[in-house]
Structure 1
């Protein structure tokens, strides 16, 4: 009987729920609820069959590369109301095809690499973060699918231009502002200033060298004149002159 029992197939073990989260649902459609659990980082043992993951209202500061790579069934991910400042380039690798909703609102995000979001098919909430409005952020908005209800809540806390601080980004862009053209103009001006500085330095050096050579020639001439006339051929003095 023991040998016979060993031959029987064992039912697959159910994935454990990360502490101190609560997991509900059934195999293939798991909801992992980790709201307000004082988590400082994203749990590494979220069940592979998770479809819905709530990590909101915690103390998470970073979304590292491949944080959700093993969650092939993930459709909704809530990371709102954390202290997230940094999102790595490959933070959402592995969930691009199936993810439908991604909530990053109410964090501390100032900048986000567009490479982290461009391959996602999800509707993304980016509202209520201390955004720095610049070309890079504008490129992100061009590439991703924003949740339309949250667009007006993306505000410039800082900006490449002081007059845009405190304004909704969509309002600034609708007025015809293009941060990328501003960036290009700033780069062109910086290049011009650099080239002008280099040219000025070269010109100053050239003038200094010419004057230094003239001074050496004058001193040499005075030395020749101070010698007895029999020692200094006239053709030598005329050459110096």
Structure 2
């Protein structure tokens, strides 16, 4: 199927639908009057810069169920003023790049992507202007910090509790907790040792006093014995 036939099949007034026709790339020659563009269920693996630059009236863009793993910087250039809904669900995206999504305020479906949550991802969140509910759908599928309970949690909830750049909790300083625990353990151990040493010393002192008392009683002179005088 050549591009002309594809355009005839897909184009209907201000809505352009190419769902499930196995497009390997974004069709060219789209009308700049297009307000809704459906490219879901195709074979798109990347979006080059300025892929939709001429679609200044585009309100909705559906790119779900493709194979997108690379979104080049400025691939959505020109869409920020008009775009209200962007569907990127069920692709192969793993990073949120402000150079790609920066400036967009659209409600964005980001579910069902293998998001990799790390320090870079955490930093990217603060630089995105997407609808707040969009980021709530970014669920971590992998991380450099697998032992911190990252995998399977929404990124927005994760960064409330953890600083992924420092690998520590925000709400509780783990290092401080460990330090305090060790210090407390050392204090308790010293107190136990001190008490036991005092008890042992007290027992030795009592034993010494008893021994000293017994020795004094033994050495104390007995009373004088007077014998009656007998005249011979």
Q: Assess same fold via TM > 0.5.
A: yes
TM-score by length of 2: 0.63
Which ranges of structure 1 fall in alignment gaps of 5 or more residues? Answer: 1-15, 184-241
Per-residue deviation, residues 15-68 of structure 1 (Å, max 9, x unmatched):
x7853642223xxxx100111111111112221110000111111100110000
Mapped partners of 1:147, 1:127: distance in 2: 14
- Counterpart secondary structure, 2:15: strand
Alpha carbons of structure 1 residues 58 and 120: separation in structure 2 relative to 1, 3 Å: same
Pair 1:35 & 2:23 matched: no
Higher Cα radius of gyration: 2
Alpha carbons of structure 1 residues 55 and 172: separation in structure 2 relative to 1, 3 Å: same
- Counterpart secondary structure, 2:86: strand
- Counterpart secondary structure, 1:154: coil
Partner of 2:112: 128
Partner of 1:197: none
Q: Could you list the runs of 4 or more consecutive aligned residues of structure 1 that deviate by over 3 angstroms after TM superposition?
A: 16-21, 150-153, 180-183
Mapped partners of 1:101, 1:48: distance in 2: 18
Partner of 2:48: 64
How much has 1:182 moved relative to structure 2? 4.0
Q: 2, 15, 19: which is aligned to 2:7? A: 19
Alpha carbons of structure 1 residues 106 and 173: separation in structure 2 relative to 1, 3 Å: same
TM-score by length of 1: 0.61
Which ranges of structure 2 fall in alignment gaps of 5 or more residues? Answer: 169-232
Per-residue deviation, residues 139-178 of structure 1 (Å, max 9, x unmatched):
3333232462x6554221111201312333233223x112
Pair 1:145 & 2:130 matched: yes
- Counterpart secondary structure, 1:65: coil
Partner of 1:173: 159
Mapped partners of 1:146, 1:121: distance in 2: 6
Q: Aligned residues, how many?
A: 162
Mapped partners of 1:101, 1:39: distance in 2: 21
- Counterpart secondary structure, 1:180: coil
Alpha carbons of structure 1 residues 102 and 147: separation in structure 2 relative to 1, 3 Å: farther
Per-residue deviation, residues 189-234 of structure 1 (Å, max 9, x unmatched):
xxxxxxxxxxxxxxxxxxxxxxxxxxxxxxxxxxxxxxxxxxxxxx
Mapped partners of 1:162, 1:95: distance in 2: 36
- Counterpart secondary structure, 2:35: strand
Partner of 1:98: 82
- Counterpart secondary structure, 2:165: helix
Superposition CA RMSD, Å: 2.2
